[in-house]
Structure 1
């Protein structure tokens, strides 16, 4: 049984197709202003300098320069696809819901296949969107969920800090997701949830193991609690900022001698790659 992904784009005008093709925003003039609590003016700090993608204090100078030019035009948008993977019941849906709604949802329903949400930001004065693909953790839905892995700019691997086995399984989830993506162009995040449920001793032990794994797989580590909200907004702001920076730097590298104002534009850089390979109808039975 398959449920079509839920799309909540906060009144965005979008076009998307069933087979895993990402939505494309057609015109910034049709969009309402970005909410004040989604405006990013500085690079958010990492959770731990010992387990970060980088520890610099601010955005790359070339990114800042490109944004200064683009702020005058405000014509186009940047989009990044983010997939969220991990064992069933580790808190993937609650994590996303807590950030989007600012409250803990006790009555959430388990994800069937994949759900989709769009979160709008303004980074250094430039509109930016995160496509958050919340995938099911049940084994029987892996085939469905994996069709949406391709074309990710960031992968969030979630584990339950009160469940050591979910951390052990994190490596396999990452391996599955990376089969559909280029390792050199994807940012990785290892996120421990349910921080509030762990005892101090357990928290220290699990966190040590998680940081060792994050170093091994070259992922940035975070520990959060969807119930209390601890670290959730900081984490997603960090994801948005780093994916935005990576997208702009990639465009700068490809642009050659083009002007900075041409660098930030509406783009789904790997639209062709985002089209999922069709699976046989009985692959997930």
Structure 2
């Protein structure tokens, strides 16, 4: 019998998480996909293996000092330290959730933003279901750099198989007027990336949990739907077999829009 420890109460997602900004969202809906919902409630399907521990992979990319590690640690450890040392190569956390009554885990890979570690970090991009590109809202240059970070991550993955997010950090450092201006620029960039935009503060925790809940919900639902399409409920989500990484896009225009789950 498969056994996994109980999920923390603050990791149970009972309702489909809403997007932050309707102008830049991946899915305009307020409930789970009907097919996925039925499978999650189907006891027979559970006995076929859909209640086994599922796992998807999210990679977090962006410039040095944009707050990637702070973002992850705020969610995973509910901690904030402005003096984190730069990540060397890669690091990762695993967060366990319960969605629609089923257990699910998200691997969150924290990658280095320094040029000298790019070769090391890029080796860990492959097999990602989620790509999170991060920029510093107080440094608009880092927003422009997210284009290149996304392209590098997509060289190791099939664009149509990935959810893409654009996350602006350190919103607490901006005035409401500055935040509004920066968000307008970010929404435009997110549209070019076929990404969903979120604005967060790791210092205050604003929007951090909501963002990762959204990531987990979309990745989980898509994984269930992929298993249904494959007709193989025993396949382990996140093992890379259901992803093809043999296409290297040359521009953001090569990024395919994520198929609708509605």
> Smaller-chain TM-score range?
0.7 to 0.9
**Residues 60, 134 of structure 2: 8 Å contact kept:** yes
What SS class does the counterpart of residue 42 from structure 2 fall into? helix
Q: CA RMSD in A?
A: 2.0
Out of 27, 37, 46, the residue aligned to residue 54 of structure 1 is 27
Listed as ranges, the gaps of 5+ residues in structure 1 are 1-26, 256-261, 276-285
Which residue pairs with 2:225 in the alignment?
Answer: 249
What SS class does the counterpart of residue 125 from structure 2 fall into? coil
The answer to whether structure 1 residue 63 and structure 2 residue 69 are counterparts is: no
**Residues 248, 264 of structure 1: 8 Å contact kept:** no
**Residues 71, 202 of structure 2: 8 Å contact kept:** yes
Comparing 112-121 and 98-107, the one that deviates more: 98-107
TM-score, normalization by structure 1:
0.80
Out of 19, 34, 42, the residue aligned to residue 15 of structure 2 is 42
Query: By how many angstroms is 1:237 displaced?
Result: 0.2
Change (3 A) 1:101 1:269: closer
Q: Deviations over 1:20-78 (max 9, x none)?
A: xxxxxxx841x310101000111100001110001111010101111112585474121
**Residues 56, 237 of structure 2: 8 Å contact kept:** no
What SS class does the counterpart of residue 50 from structure 1 fall into? coil
Which residue pairs with 1:211 in the alignment?
Answer: 187
Aligned residues: 242
Out of 79, 84, 109, the residue aligned to residue 108 of structure 1 is 84
Which residue pairs with 2:139 in the alignment?
Answer: 163
Listed as ranges, the gaps of 5+ residues in structure 2 are 246-262
What SS class does the counterpart of residue 97 from structure 2 fall into? strand
Q: How far apart, CA to CA, are the structure 1 residues paired with 2:205 and 2:177?
A: 21
**Residues 158, 244 of structure 2: 8 Å contact kept:** no
Which residue pairs with 1:120 in the alignment?
Answer: 96
Q: How far apart, CA to CA, are the structure 2 residues paired with 1:83 and 1:98?
A: 16
TM-score, normalization by structure 2:
0.87
Query: By how many angstroms is 1:264 displaced?
Result: 6.8
The answer to whether structure 1 residue 225 and structure 2 residue 198 are counterparts is: no
**Residues 150, 274 of structure 1: 8 Å contact kept:** no
Q: How far apart, CA to CA, are the structure 2 residues paired with 1:129 and 1:151?
A: 15
Q: How far apart, CA to CA, are the structure 2 residues paired with 1:253 and 1:271?
A: 14
What SS class does the counterpart of residue 93 from structure 1 fall into? helix
The 5 Å alignment of 1:76-91 reads 76-91=52-67
What SS class does the counterpart of residue 121 from structure 1 fall into? strand
Change (3 A) 1:122 1:165: same
**Residues 80, 203 of structure 2: 8 Å contact kept:** yes
Which residue pairs with 1:266 in the alignment?
Answer: 236
Q: Which runs of at least 4 in structure 1 moved beyond 3 Å after TM superposition?
A: 70-75, 262-269, 271-275
